[in-house]
Every structure is written in C-alpha cells, then in structure tokens.
Amino acid sequence: MSAGPALVSILRQGDTLVASIHTALDDSEMIRFQNDLVHQIGEHRARGVIIDVAALDVLDSFGSRTLRTIAEMARLRGATTVIVGIQPDVAYAMVQLGMGRMGAHTALDLEEGLAYLSSMRNRRRRAAP
C-alpha cells in the first residue's frame, strides 16, 4: 500500500530551506511540519526559510498562528523566514479575521522570496565590520 502524496516538502537550496505545503494540513500535521522544519533549520544551518503556501485556498487561525510561531522559532535559530504564495482570497479572509500580521516577511512568489533573502544577506555583508 502506498503512502500517498507528500503533504509537505522541505528542500535545501544552499543555506535556504524551501518548504512547500501541498494541501491543507490538520492541526497535528501542522505541528509535525513545524517541528520538522525547525529541526532542519539547525541540521542544515539554514539562514533563510521560505514557506510556500500557494496550494492553500484557506488558512485558519491555527495555521496562521503556527506560521507565525515557525517564523519566530526560525529567527531565534538565526534564520529569516519569508512566506510566499498567499492567495488573494486567503489574504482577504486573513485581514477580515484580524490575522493579517504573519510575524514573517511575505512575498508574492518563490522568486521574490529568494530575491528578498538574497538582499538581506547582501545587506548583512555590507554592514559587517
């Protein structure tokens, strides 16, 4: 019997982890994703994390809160988080429900997320003595 399609994939690209959520996750799956991602930040010494939510057509308050928690945990481990791919309907619903503050940077898509992390790295290099 096959395990079925992956709900989430986490790929390493240099010092960045790209985590794509492929389908809506229940609360326990969201917590498992959080734990896996935070563990991999340390394992791979990641400096950037991109969470792609483009496949989600809904994001409930628990999911939104978990993404904020992931961003804060990543920050404490030395990584910058960018959430990409928030669908227009999801953004509208989040603002209407008072969940508009993600606690992480956001970008339109993966390309913009990678560009943001690259600009942050360049800014840090220029600021370093």
- What's the farthest any 2 CA atoms get from each other in the chain? 57
Q: What is the pLDDT of residue 100?
A: 72
Break the chain into its structural domains and give their ranges: 8-123
What tens digit of pLDDT does each residue of 61-116 get?
899 889 999 999 999 999 999 999 999 998 988 888 777 776 789 999 999 999 99
Average pLDDT score over the chain:
90
Q: What percent of the chain has pLDDT over 70?
A: 95
Burial (Cβ within 10 Å: 0-12, 13-18, ≥19) of residue 51: buried
Spatial neighbors of 110 by CB under 8 A, at least 6 apart, are: 18, 50, 52, 84, 85
Fold of 8-123: Transcription Regulator spoIIAA (3.30.750)
* Sheet containing 16-21, strands listed edge to edge, beginning at the edge strand earlier in sequence: 8-13, 16-21, 48-52, 80-84, 105-107
The two tokens of residue 21 are 């959520």
